[in-house]
Each structure stands twice: as C-alpha cells, then as structure tokens.
Copies of this chain bind each other. A is one copy, B any other.
Amino acid sequence: MNQTTVDARAPKQDRSRATRQRLIEAAITCLARDGWSRSTVSVIAAEAGISRGATQHHFPTREDLILAALERMFELRIAQVDVGEVQGRPEGRARTVVLRLVEYYTGDLFKAALQVWTAAAADETLRERIVPLERKFAREVHAAAVRLLGADDSDPATHRMIQATLDMARGFGLADVLSDDSRRRRHVAEAWADQLAGVIAQAGEARSAEG
C-alpha cells in the first residue's frame, strides 16, 4: 500500500465513522425525547442530517441501529460511574459510589435505554438480541461497583448487597421517568449507602479475624 492510497482512504474512513457516530447519537436523542414508536429510521436519519441511503449502508435494519445505540448508551453510562477511584473512609466512600450508581440509572441515557427495553418486552426478536448485551453490561457495572467500593465480592452478603444497590438504583431510574424524584432519592440512597458500608465493614472484620 503506497502513501497516496492511505491518504485517500483515511479521510473517507473518518467520514464514515463520523456518519455512523452521528446516527447513533441521533438515535439516542430521538429515543429519549420522542419515545420508541416515533423513533423510526427515517426520523433518526433526519435528526442526524444523513441521507436514508447512507443510513441503510451503515445500519441495514432499525434493530442494527438501535443495538449500536444501546451499546453507546452503556459506554456513556459506565463512563459516568467509572470516573475515577473513590478514596476515603468506608461510609463516605459508599455514599459516593451509590450516588454514582444512581446516576447510572437516571438521566436521558437511562430514559433512552428504557424505551428500548420496554419495546423489547413485547418483541421477542429484539429481546433475543438485547439479552446477551445486557448480561455483559450488568457484569461490567457490578465489577465497577465492587472495585470502586473496595469491597470483597467473594463474601456472599457483600455480593448480594451490591446487587441490591444496583437493583435499587434501577428502581430509582424508573421512578424518575414520570417526575423529578431527585430529592427523595438522595435521602433514600444515603440511608442505603450507610447500610452497605456496614455490611462491607463487617465482611472486612470477619476476614481480619480469620487472617
């Protein structure tokens, strides 16, 4: 491959990547704002300012586009959680991590994902494609929570409490869909974080006593 070929190809690849990216971002915007039924491929392509032909070149079906959007939503959401290590005393640390996990399940990215999950609840084909992705996402966010909390996930009580934390955060997200629930949520999340810190500390003490 000579230099000319590389130069000619690189900008084309960049443009292609940028087009793909714009479609994915437009899909997220449309889902969060307009909901599932109105987020058709035509509407998303128009939102992105990309022709229908170019859109179909990148994403042959609506599902292909939605799945790419779902992966991007996850990347952005996990990046909000995994924004840096959390230091400090156990209780403060648990509160910081729980509040980050709550953010993971709120906001426009969660709302866009909720549109896809709910559609998939009544659509077996879509569901079958989404389930393996969601399993992977669930493992990754659990692993991030364990690491940020500095917790011992091999302790069954700790493992379950971290799972419960993620379930609670998911529940907050759903409560926030209809009206702003942030004040109530904060108090509940902090009370919960203190419980979590207690369980993690207990497991730590049991380990020290054994060791």
Contacts of A136 in B (CB 8 A): none
A192 to B163, CA, bound (A): 10
Copies held by the complex: 2
Contact pattern, A 34-61, Cβ under 8 Å of B = 1, otherwise 0: 1111100000000000000000000000
Please state if B164 and A191 are interface contacts (CB–CB under 8 Å).
yes
Residues of chain A from 108 to 140 with CB closer than 8 A to chain B in the complex = 111, 114-115, 117-123, 127, 130-131, 134
Contacts of A168 in B (CB 8 A): 164, 167-168, 171
Please state if B111 and A178 are interface contacts (CB–CB under 8 Å).
no
Contacts of A188 in B (CB 8 A): 160, 163-164, 167
Contacts of A115 in B (CB 8 A): 118, 121-122
Q: A121-B178, A163-B188 are in contact. List 15 more A-B contacts (CB 8 A).
A: A33-B122, A36-B122, A38-B122, A105-B171, A115-B121, A127-B178, A161-B191, A164-B188, A167-B175, A167-B185, A167-B188, A170-B170, A170-B171, A171-B172, A171-B174
